[in-house]
Structure 1
Amino acid sequence: MYVAVKGGETAIARSWDLLAAARRGDESVPELTLAQIRQQMRLAVARVMQEGSLYDEELAALALKQAAGDSMEAIFLLRAFRTTLPRFASSLPLDTAAMRVRRRVSGTFKDVPGGQILGPTADYTQRLLDFSLAEPSVPAQPARAAAPLPDALPCVLEVLDREGLIEADLPPAGDPDPVDLTREPLMFPAGRPARLQNLARGDEGWLLGLAYSTQRGYAESHPFAGEIRMGEVSVFVCPEELGFEIDIGEITLTECQMINQFGGSKRAPPQFTRGYGLSFGEAERKAMAMALVDRSLRAEELGEAAHAPAQQAEFALCHSDNVEASGFVQHLKLPHYVDFQAELSLIRALRAQNPQEPTHD
C-alpha cells in the first residue's frame, strides 16, 4: 500500500483544513451523528465492517463520516485502525445453524422447513424513487411478524444431505487450524480456508464482476441459491484461564450456500457441490458473489477444467483487496517527476535516432 506523501508542510496542513470543511459542508444543515449513520445507513456500515475486517458498527460509522461517504476510504481507515488493536482471544467456530434468523429464502425449494422468511429486503420493490423520503417521516410502529419466529431454523440443504445428493459439509479428519491472513501473507497454492478469508474481506464490486462472469459462461457454472439467511449469531470464546466456553455477544451475519452440478469423478458419485459465502451484517449480494467465486475456485479440486479468470486463484484473490488496489492506483497522483523524465529522455533519444516525417490522415 502506497501511503508515503512528501510535500510542503504548509500546503498539506491547508489541504487538511479544506478537507474538513468539505466534509462538514453547509453548517446551517444539521451534522450527521454516528447513531444516524448506524441506524439509517446500515448496509454501508456493513460493507465497511466486512472489507475492513473489523466488526464494530460505531467505528464503521465513524470511518464513513470521516471519509465523507467514500466506502473505500472508510474501509482503509478501519483496516488501519484494526492493526493497532491487541488480540486477546480467538473465537470458536460460529454455529450459523443456530442463527436467530430475520430473513431466510431459498431459490431451490418452494416449501422449506420453517418456511420462506422474506424479512427486510428491497427485492420486491419497484425501484422507483420514493419522494416521501425527502421529508421527515412520522415515527411508525415497528413491523411485527405474523407469528413469532423459532429460535433456530434448520438448514435447507439438509433436505439434499439426507439423500446423499450433495457433498458432505464436514471438516476432514485432522483438519488443521486455518491460516490467519491478517497475520500471514497469502501464499499459493491457497487452500479453501485461506481463499474464503480472502474473499470475505474482498471488494464487493470485484467479486460481483467475477461472479457474473461465471454465470455468463466463463466457468461453466449453473448455480442455484440453496439458502440465503441473515440474522444474529452468538460468538463464543474459551479463555485458557477459565477452561470453559463463554458467550461474549452476538453479531449479525449473512450466509449463502450455492448449489452447483457436479458430474462425479473416480472418487465421488454425481452429486451437487457447494459454494459458500459469509459476510458481516446484511450483505446478500456480497455473500452470494462470494459463494459463486468460492465454487469456481474449486475447479481443480473437483477435477474440472480451470480456464476462466474466476477459476484462477492468483488472479481472483490477488486483485480482490480494494485497500491495496486503491493504493496502487492512487499512488499515481503522487510525484513521479524523475521516472517520467527518464522515460521522456528515452523517447527523445529514440526519435533522434530514427527521424520520421509526421504523417497525417
Structure 2
Amino acid sequence: MYVAVKGGEAAIDKAHKLLADRRRGDRAVPALTLDQIAEQLALGVDRVMAEGSLYDPQLAAMCVRQSRGDLIEAIFLLRAYRTTLPRFGYSLPVATDTMQIERRVSATYKDIPGGQLLGPTFDYTHRLIDPDMAGDEPVAQPARRLLDTAGSFPRVTDILNDEGLIEPDVASDKEPADLTRDPTSFPVDRDLRLQALARGDEGFLLSLAYSTQRGYGRTHPFVGEVRIGMVEVEVDVPELGFAVSIGSIRVTECQMVSQFKGQGEEGPRFTRGYGLVFGQSERKAMAVSLVDRALRADEFDEQRTAPAQDEEFVLAHCDNVEATGFVEHLKLPHYVDFQAELGLLRMLRGEKEDASQNKEAAE
C-alpha cells in the first residue's frame, strides 16, 4: 500500500509539471500577460468574477491564465482564494440609477428618459469570422467608454410604477442573509435566492430561463431595461458618521417586466424579475431575472409545475463549483466501491444461474 501511495505521488507531481508545460504552450509564442487577458478577454474575466463572487479583474485574469482558459476551473480558483480573505464590513446598496452608463436598452419603450444607448454589444454584428482577427488589429481611436452626462437615469420600470401598472419595488428593512457564511435551509427568502443566482452557472441559468419562455413556468417576459456601467461602492464608517466611497465596479442590471397578476384589492399589475451581476454580462443578468420571477411563484399563488419554479432544484444545482466537484470526483479512485459492486453483481448472477439449473433439473 505504501509503494502504491508513493507511486501515485510521483505520478501526480509529473502531471503537475506536464500541466505547467502545456499551459505555457509553444515558447516561440509570446506569453499572455494579465493585462492582455483582462483587457482583451474581458467578458471571460467578467464571468469569472461574477461566478467567483469576487470583483478583481487582475486576480480573475490570473485564474484564467492558470486554468488554461477553462472558465469553470478559473471560477473554482477564485472562489477558493476568496475564502482566505478577511471580512471587514458590508457595503451599502449600490445606486444603479446613478450609474455611469456604457450601455442601456429597453425593449418596452422606444423613447426613454435619458435615451437608449447601444454601447458595446454583439447584438447587431454578423456572426461571420472576421479575417482581421487572424493578425494584429490596427490601432483605432478609442471609443468613449461612459455616457458623458451627469445626474441619475430613472429605470424604465419607474414609468410603469408611477401609473401603478407594476408591483411596487419595496426595499426590505431585514438584514440580508449571507450565502457564503450561513447554511442554506429551504425555503429561502428572495435576497438569498438572488445571491445564489448571481454566482450560479450562466449556462445552467440560461437553460432554465429559456425553459420559462417555452411554457415551463411561462412568465411572458419583456426586457424593461438592461443597463451596464460603473457604480460606486460605499461603506458606512461609524467613526465618521457618513458613507465613504471605496471605489467603482462595473455591473450589469436587468429589470424584467413579466405577466400581470391581481392581488387582493389591487387591480392587475405587471410583475418583476431582477438580475444584477458583476461586469458586462447581460445574458446572465437576463437569465437571472427570468429565473428570479419563476421562483416567485408562491408570491403570486401560482402552481409550481416547472423546473425553473422549483426553488430547491434550482438553488441546489446552479453552483458550477459544487457541480464540478461532484461530477469530477468520479475520476478519482473508487476501486473498493467498484469491487464491492462487482462482487455483488457476480453473486446475483450466480444465484440466478443456480436457480435456472435447479429449475431445469426439476423439470
Distance 1:127 1:343 in 2: 50
On the 8 A contact 2:229/2:251 being kept in 1, the answer is yes
On the 8 A contact 2:101/2:147 being kept in 1, the answer is no
In structure 2, list runs of 5 or more residues that go unmatched: 358-363
Aligned twin of 1:347? 345
Query: Given the two structures, how large is their TM-score scaled by the length of structure 2?
Result: 0.94
On the 8 A contact 2:100/2:147 being kept in 1, the answer is no
The offset of 1:139, in angstroms, is 1.0
Within-5 A mapping of 1:72-221: 72-144=72-144, 148-172=148-172, 175-221=173-219
In structure 1, list runs of 5 or more residues that go unmatched: none
On the 8 A contact 1:253/1:278 being kept in 2, the answer is yes
The offset of 1:311, in angstroms, is 0.2
Aligned twin of 2:361? none
Aligned residue pair count: 351
**Letter matched to residue 223 of structure 1:** P
**Aligned counterpart for 2:259 among listed residues 261, 264, 269:** 261
Distance 1:157 1:221 in 2: 17
Q: % of aligned pairs identical?
A: 60
**Letter matched to residue 56 of structure 2:** D
The 1:206–1:243 alpha-carbon spacing in structure 2 relative to 1, beyond 3 Å, is same
Task: Answer 1 or 2: which has greater helix percent.
Answer: 2
The offset of 1:43, in angstroms, is 0.3
What is the DSSP-based 3-state SS (H/G/I as helix, E as strand, rest coil) of the residue aligned with 2:229?
A: strand
**Aligned counterpart for 2:309 among listed residues 311, 328, 332:** 311
Alpha-carbon displacement from aligned partner over 1:58-115 (angstroms, at most 9, x marks no partner): 0000000000000000000000000000111210111111111110000011111111
Distance 1:147 1:289 in 2: 26
**Letter matched to residue 349 of structure 1:** M
The offset of 1:177, in angstroms, is 0.4
What is the DSSP-based 3-state SS (H/G/I as helix, E as strand, rest coil) of the residue aligned with 1:252?
A: strand
**Letter matched to residue 98 of structure 1:** T
Q: Which has the bigger relative contact order, CA under 8 A and spacing at least 6?
A: 1
The 1:100–1:190 alpha-carbon spacing in structure 2 relative to 1, beyond 3 Å, is same
Distance 2:160 2:347 in 1: 69
Q: Report the more deviating stretch, 178-187 or 58-67.
A: 178-187
Distance 2:78 2:45 in 1: 11
Distance 1:237 1:156 in 2: 28
What is the DSSP-based 3-state SS (H/G/I as helix, E as strand, rest coil) of the residue aligned with 1:255?
A: strand
Distance 1:328 1:236 in 2: 37
Alpha-carbon displacement from aligned partner over 1:267-324 (angstroms, at most 9, x marks no partner): 5421001000001000000000000000000001111111100000000110000000
The 1:6–1:121 alpha-carbon spacing in structure 2 relative to 1, beyond 3 Å, is farther
